[in-house]
């Protein structure tokens, strides 16, 4: 039995139980009739699509049957959250390889889309849109363009800070800092399957983050960096090694990483390394990205 077929079976059982133990007979029958008449066919060879279809169906039922009581809506929401967590756990390893931040402040006055295309052509696996200064409407427009680009190239897109924009463009996920919107509040905004990453610079922050409903961790700055408004003391390679030992989620090394030092980071065994200016301000961003990817692969 496929995951989707199991879901339909479990949902039918749930509706039957609610119908037998409450006054919600008519509402349950409406949903059951809808499921019976739709003849929903899902490609069960694509587990990601199949699971996403479950989440979409739950959300559709909540919106379509607006007059159904709270008990059923809560049950559908819980099912959606449950399958979202499954999907996220199955695709956490997508945070790997070279992770490039696209920040309009660090493009040498070039169009961010030019840097993004160069990064993808150079072998980047993940892009993050980080824009601390533009109007939200402009960020949203750029996010849509980046997401289309990433989807067509098999690259994951993360949005920095803005949970509403991440939700609107339906990208892979969101990244938050220690003082940004809380993980709990972000989860309320995002779709259940969207990932959340969180910044950390201390071991206690790292341990606390792992208690939250997140999917990957960032640790740094590893080296000195000028891409942040607040200058932080570099963590160094030894503390990064300790962080890697503490982490039980995918760990992204970030901060001041470039062609000269990326090998020392990759040698630890870390699978995802994040850069900003090493690609964004390079004379030839595609070549810079390609060389960084090559250096990572030599160590891994």
CA dihedral 177, 56, 99, 160 (to 10 degrees): -30
Please tell me the predicted confidence (pLDDT) of residue 141: 98
What confidence tens digit (pLDDT) does each residue in 127-136 have? 999 999 999 9
Please tell me the predicted confidence (pLDDT) of residue 34: 72
Instruction: State the chain's maximal CA–CA distance in angstroms.
Output: 68
Residue 45 pLDDT > 70: no
> How many alpha carbons lie under 13 Å from residue 146 in its C-beta half-sphere?
37
Residue 98 pLDDT > 80: yes
Please tell me the predicted confidence (pLDDT) of residue 285: 98
CB 35 within 8 A of CB 13: no
Q: pLDDT-derived band of residue 54, with 50, 70 and 90 as boundaries? A: confident
Please tell me the predicted confidence (pLDDT) of residue 117: 98
Please tell me the predicted confidence (pLDDT) of residue 167: 97
Please tell me the predicted confidence (pLDDT) of residue 123: 98
Q: What percent of the chain has pLDDT over 70?
A: 89
What confidence tens digit (pLDDT) does each residue in 100-143 have? 999 999 999 999 999 999 999 999 999 999 999 999 999 999 99
Please tell me the predicted confidence (pLDDT) of residue 42: 54
Query: Distance between CA 4 and CA 17 in Å, rounded?
Result: 20
Instruction: Tell me the mean pLDDT in the region 185-207.
Output: 96
Please tell me the predicted confidence (pLDDT) of residue 21: 61
- Domains of the chain (ranges; CATH) run 3-90 (no CATH), 93-299 (3.20.20.70)
Please tell me the predicted confidence (pLDDT) of residue 100: 99
Say how many C-beta atoms besides its own lie within 10 A of residue 149's C-beta.
17
């Amino acid at each position: 039995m496929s995951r989707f077929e199991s879901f339909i079976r479990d949902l039918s059982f749930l509706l039957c139980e609610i119908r037998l133990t409450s006054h919600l007979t008519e509402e349950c029958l409406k949903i059951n009739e809808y499921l019976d008449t739709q003849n929903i066919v899902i490609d069960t060879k694509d587990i990601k699509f199949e699971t996403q279809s479950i989440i979409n169906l739950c959300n559709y039922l909540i919106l379509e049957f607006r007059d159904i009581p709270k008990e059923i809506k809560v049950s559908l929401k819980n099912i959606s959250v449950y399958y979202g967590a499954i999907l996220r756990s199955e695709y956490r390893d997508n945070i790997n390889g070279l992770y490039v931040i696209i920040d309009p402040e660090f493009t040498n006055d070039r169009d961010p889309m030019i840097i993004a295309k160069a990064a993808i052509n150079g072998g980047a696996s993940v892009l993050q849109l980080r824009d601390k200064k533009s109007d939200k409407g402009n960020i949203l427009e750029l996010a849509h363009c980046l997401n289309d680009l990433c989807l067509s190239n098999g690259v994951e897109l993360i949005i920095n800070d803005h949970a509403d924009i991440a939700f609107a463009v339906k990208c892979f996920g969101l990244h938050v800092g220690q003082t940004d919107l809380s993980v709990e509040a972000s989860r309320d905004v995002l779709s259940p399957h969207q990932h959340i990453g969180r910044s950390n610079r201390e071991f206690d922050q790292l341990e606390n983050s792992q208690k939250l409903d997140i999917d990957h961790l960032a640790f740094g700055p590893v080296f000195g960096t000028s891409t942040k408004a607040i200058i932080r003391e570099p963590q160094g390679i030894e503390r990064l090694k300790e962080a890697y030992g503490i982490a039980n989620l995918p760990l992204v090394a970030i901060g001041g990483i470039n062609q000269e030092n990326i090998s020392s980071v990759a040698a630890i065994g870390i699978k995802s390394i994040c850069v900003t200016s090493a690609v964004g301000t390079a004379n030839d961003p595609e070549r810079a990205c390609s060389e960084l990817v090559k250096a990572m692969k030599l160590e891994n």
